[in-house]
Amino acid sequence: MAPGWEAAFEAVPRSAFLPDVMWPYDMGRRRAVTVARSEAPESWRAFADADVPIVTQWDDGAHEGTSPGRVSTSSASMPSVVAAMLGDLRVADGDRVLEVGTGTGWNAALLSHRLGDDRVTTVEVEPAVAAAARGALERAGYRPTVLSGDGRAGHAARAPYDRVIATCGVREIPYAWVQQTAQGGVVLAPWGTHFGNGDAVVRLEVAGQCASGRFTRRVEFMKLRAQRTAVRHHDRVPPEGTAAAEASTTALTEGICSATRAGTAPS
């Protein structure tokens, strides 16, 4: 774990941000399974503490019942992936952070514990998910700015940010993120192509009107809603916040200018 984050992870358990009924990814069976705290509290706790991704919403909230739905659309990422990406972010005391993709609110809580509530802004596209995250954050004692809206636009009212972190996969880097990042700041996002679900975390440093940098590791995240393609997640594919089977900390490339006035990453 990157230095400076140990206290946050000790103080902010993922379990505090998980619903009573959830769908963890069972690595042995290679599919999402239903776990209800009221019916199987020990199993619920074991999955909550395990290094597995956990689906918390299916089908953009249209799903009913307790069986897994068709498409996973919100989740709690693997703790190891969360820790690795926060390490890649390399925050410093006093940094202002914009998070795109609030999800359960756990990542925002970790950021708030490390930096302070007033330094964290998080945006979630789904109003019900944002409301649930806000409630979980308040119960845990954290009050970052939680907004419901299209994360592609960032949130200019609280800019500039020293760090922007996306917890959803993107196929283009929205230029608004670069515009709202201070000079020398960082945009961190899981980026990939339209040819598959896989992503690679790209760490971009903002200089002038451009942002360039290197890939840090392979992952797989649910995609930014506005950038979804026909390639979808199914039970055979691990959900959001999963480390790829061949994950590597070796940079895949460097010197990529991924955001220009045209507003897109290389594709």
Cβ burial of 160 (10 Å; 0-12, 13-18, 19+) is: middle
Which residue is catalytic, options 77, 112, 258, 267?
A: 77
- Both structure tokens of 186: 């960082």
Q: Evaluate whether 151 touches 168 at the Cβ level (below 8 Å).
A: yes
**Token pair listed for 76:** 């709690």
> Rounded to whole angstroms, what are the CA distances from 210 to 22, 190, 263?
40, 18, 10
CA angle 142, 21, 114 (to 5 degrees): 20
Q: Is 35 left (phi over 0), alpha (psi -120 to 50) or beta?
A: beta
Active site residue 75: no
Bond preceding residue 160 cis, omega within 30 of 0: yes
The 10 Å Cβ neighbour count of residue 204 is 26
The token pair that represents 225 in the structure block: 């809603």
| Angstrom distance (rounded) from CA 70 to CA 103 | 18
Cβ(258)–Cβ(265) under 8 Å? yes
Residue type, 209: Q
**Strand partners of residue 231:** none
Please identify every residue annotated as catalytic: 77
